[in-house]
């Protein structure tokens, strides 16, 4: 199998089919495009999500916090805590661990999240440091927002710009290979994209305004996430490629390595669906907080297409992320 997320058909056939016990307290179960589990805890729901960091060793403490908390934010709720499991290879130093935890703490503090605990060990089972996080949030029962809530006719909105995380990782890990194509300032700009990886602020804003669904963009890039959103709701989607925000630095990096920026890991980007009558309010609210946002498509009844140069192309499910073609 390819490196990266398991394909959707394999998830359904092998992973989900082997989850058979169902408790009445569980309100949201595993599903394609669904970012979180939701569990009934009385007046509130507990919202939970888990993800590892495996594609890079740069800034993994910070990434582990933000990637997991982003999933919680995709339900329109503020994350409150996270647990971290750190698996480090032999030869890891105390300084290495200290750097990871300092970065994780800084990231958690920036979004008012407490590190609740976890596990740390040195093991020969890994050849580079791997961190897995489990984040939790609390949500009133009548405020649940899911990836599968999209409605026909809803506008599709994205925040920030495609390939955000991937461009940051590549420009940091492979800086030397970019120096002949990008200026020092352009490389620095691309590396700085990492500071925008949290989507907690936009998730909470959108949750209060009543989006019908949200999904944060990770492996598979913006196009993969859009397919997952449509799949979760069992609906169609029409996306206009020229409307998708893309930074010049990301475009150039992807040209250098012959990869698709629209299929590149994009943590820091949130996609949202909302009724047409609320679009302006949501865009104004996001932009007032200096969060770039734009309408890139709409939810339809059946077909999933990407419109490129006036041609409607089929929107395919996510495959192995473009990052893995570059960072081995």
Per-residue pLDDT of the chain (328 residues; tens, 9 = 90+): 888 888 888 988 999 999 999 999 998 888 887 778 999 998 899 999 999 988 777 789 999 999 999 999 999 999 999 999 999 999 999 999 999 999 999 999 999 999 999 999 999 999 999 999 999 999 887 777 777 789 999 999 999 999 999 999 999 999 999 999 999 999 999 999 999 999 999 999 998 898 999 999 999 999 999 999 999 999 999 999 999 999 999 999 999 999 999 999 999 999 999 999 999 999 999 999 999 999 999 999 999 999 999 899 999 999 889 999 998 7
Nearest-angstrom CA–CA distance, 306 and 242: 10
**CATH number of the domain to which 153 belongs:** 3.90.650.10
209: in domain: yes
Per the structure, the count of domains in the chain is 2
Whether 123 and 153 share a structural domain = no
Whether 199 and 274 share a structural domain = yes
The residue from 74, 107, 142 where one domain ends is: 142
1: in domain: no
The residue from 112, 142, 172 where one domain ends is: 142
Residue 83 CB partners (closer than 8 Å, separation 6+): 115, 116, 117, 118, 133, 134
94: in domain: yes
Whether 302 and 166 share a structural domain = yes
Both structure tokens of 114 = 């407490």
Instruction: Specify the pLDDT at position 283.
Output: 97
61: in domain: yes
Radius of gyration of the chain (CA): 19
**CATH number of the domain to which 119 belongs:** 3.30.1330.10
194: in domain: yes
Range of the domain at 37: 8-142
Instruction: Specify the pLDDT at position 145.
Output: 75
Whether 198 and 62 share a structural domain = no
3: in domain: no
Q: pTM above 0.85?
A: yes
Q: In the chain, where does DSSP find H-type helix?
A: 8-10, 60-73, 94-110, 164-173, 175-178, 184-192, 200-209, 221-233, 248-256, 279-288
| Ordered strands of the 213-216 beta sheet | 213-216, 270-274, 155-159, 293-300, 236-240, 304-308, 311-314
The residue from 142, 173, 188 where one domain ends is: 142
Whether 126 and 273 share a structural domain = no
């Amino acid at each position: 199998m390819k490196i990266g997320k398991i394909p959707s058909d394999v998830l359904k056939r092998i992973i989900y089919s082997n989850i058979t016990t169902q408790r009445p307290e569980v309100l949201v179960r595993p599903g394609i495009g669904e970012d979180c589990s939701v569990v009934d805890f009385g007046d509130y729901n507990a919202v939970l999500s888990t993800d590892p960091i495996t594609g890079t060793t740069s800034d993994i403490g910070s990434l582990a916090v933000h990637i997991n908390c982003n999933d919680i934010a995709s339900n329109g709720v503020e994350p409150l805590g996270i647990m971290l499991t750190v698996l480090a290879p032999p030869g890891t130093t105390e300084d290495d661990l200290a750097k990871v935890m300092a970065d994780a703490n800084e990231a958690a503090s920036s979004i008012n999240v407490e590190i609740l605990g976890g596990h740390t060990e040195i093991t020969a089972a890994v050849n580079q440091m791997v961190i897995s996080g489990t984040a939790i949030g609390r949500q009133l029962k009548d405020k649940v927002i899911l990836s599968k809530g999209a409605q026909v006719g809803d506008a599709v909105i994205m925040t920030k710009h495609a390939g955000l995380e991937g461009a940051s990782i590549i420009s940091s890990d492979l800086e030397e290979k970019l120096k002949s194509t990008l200026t020092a300032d352009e490389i620095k700009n691309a590396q700085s994209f990492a500071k925008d990886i949290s989507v907690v602020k936009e998730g909470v804003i959108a949750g209060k305004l009543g989006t019908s669904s949200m999904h944060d963009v990770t492996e598979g890039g913006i196009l993969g996430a859009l397919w997952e959103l449509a799949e979760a709701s069992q609906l169609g989607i029409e996306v206009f490629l020229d409307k998708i925000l893309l930074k010049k630095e990301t475009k150039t990096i992807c040209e250098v390595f012959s990869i698709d920026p629209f299929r590149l890991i994009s943590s820091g980007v949130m996609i949202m669906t909302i009724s047409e009558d609320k679009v302006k309010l949501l865009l104004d609210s996001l932009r007032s907080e200096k969060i770039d946002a734009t309408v890139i498509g709409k939810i339809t009844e059946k077909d999933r297409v990407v419109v490129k140069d006036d041609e409607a192309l089929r929107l395919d499910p996510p495959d192995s992320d473009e990052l893995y073609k570059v960072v081995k």
